[in-house]
Chains A and B, each alone.
Chain A
Amino acid sequence: MTERRNDLAAAIMALATRKVPAAHEEWAHAMKAEFAALATGRLSWALGCLATSLRWRAAGEAGYAASLAVGVLIVMAAMPLVIAALAAFRPGEPKLVFRLLPVVICCAPLLAGLVVGTWRADRKLLSALVIGMGSQAIGLVMFAVRSSSIGSSLTDALVAYLVIGTEMTLMSFVGLLTAAGVRRLRTVRIAR
């Protein structure tokens, strides 16, 4: 039983010191070194270290997600300008924007995924969620403020935004994976 507890503690400690942000790497080594010197209470020490390391990681992820969300917000803020330009270009067809909407919903997250994936190879899932769901969260806020978006009730709007958000998340994930693949191919070519 004690041996099994020790194995579990060692596994938790390994998890705690894995993929720690660079700024905290020295501290992760410090926690691990103390763990190696421990005779008793190894499991509770390892659990505490895991909690600390998760907080470090969460802080790092939150910072990254926030900066990406600001980027999404800036692009979303530019959308009315694009719509106005389209309306000026084709004044006879005011519905053009709505006809183009499905194309935008498919292509914009794919393009955003490609751009972000070229810039950062890691955190694909988080990036996809921020690009896909973040833009929809902005849409929901606009609905709450103006009550003039997709659907007539908040439930309708929620369902619509959830469906569109999921589709956009998937498309941006495809974009991120494509960018990662291109990066890998380029690295292999350079290595050759």
Chain B
Amino acid sequence: MPAAPRKLSPQSLAVLEVLHGREWLYGLEVSAATGLKSGSLYPILIRLADRGLLESRWLEPERPGRPARHAYRITGAGRSALAAARRPSTTLALGGI
């Protein structure tokens, strides 16, 4: 039997929620939308990227002289994980029986 996928933390889900339905977002934009500080945000982004739930790429700077910025986008697997997390669990659904 395959191992059950690890449950996502509420903070990780918040990051996926923000990325869902949008194009590439910068770290600062994700931080502003989720309220996560850099110390919490980057470990979450790394974990999500390692699990293939988000993808990243370097985007050219909007203003000349600035460094290229890292942007993030949710993947298909990320959307599925988010949908699964939004669904009430089987245990809860059967709770009344």
A36 at the interface (CB under 8 A from B): yes
* Contact across chains for A27 and B38 when beta carbons are under 8 A apart: no
The interface residues of chain B lying within 8 Å CB-to-CB of A46 are: 38
A34 on interface, CB distance cutoff 8 Å? yes
B38 near A52 with CB under 8 A, answer: yes
**Closest partner residue, chain A, to B71 (CB atom):** A30
Tell me whether A47 is interfacial, beta carbon within 8 Å.
Answer: yes
Q: Report chain B residues within 8 Å CB of A148.
A: none
User: When chains A and B are docked, how far (Å) is the Cα of A29 from the Cα of B67?
Assistant: 9
Q: Which stretch from B13-21, B39-47, B74-82, B88-96 is at the chain A interface?
A: B39-47
How would residues 51 to 92 of chain B score, 1 for a CB under 8 Å from any chain A CB and 0 otherwise? 000001000000000111110000000000000000000000
Contact of A37 with B66 at beta-carbon distance under 8 Å, contacts A30-B27, A31-B27 already known: yes
Q: Is A32 on the interface with B (CB-CB < 8 A)?
A: yes
List 15 interface pairs A-B (beta carbons < 8 Å), by A numbering.
A26-B70, A27-B42, A27-B70, A30-B69, A32-B67, A33-B67, A34-B31, A34-B38, A34-B69, A44-B37, A44-B38, A45-B37, A46-B38, A48-B40, A55-B43
Which residues of B come within 8 Å of A, CB atoms?
26-28, 31, 37-43, 45-46, 56, 66-70
Closest 8 CB pairs of A and B: A48-B39, A48-B38, A30-B70, A51-B39, A34-B27, A33-B67, A48-B37, A33-B69
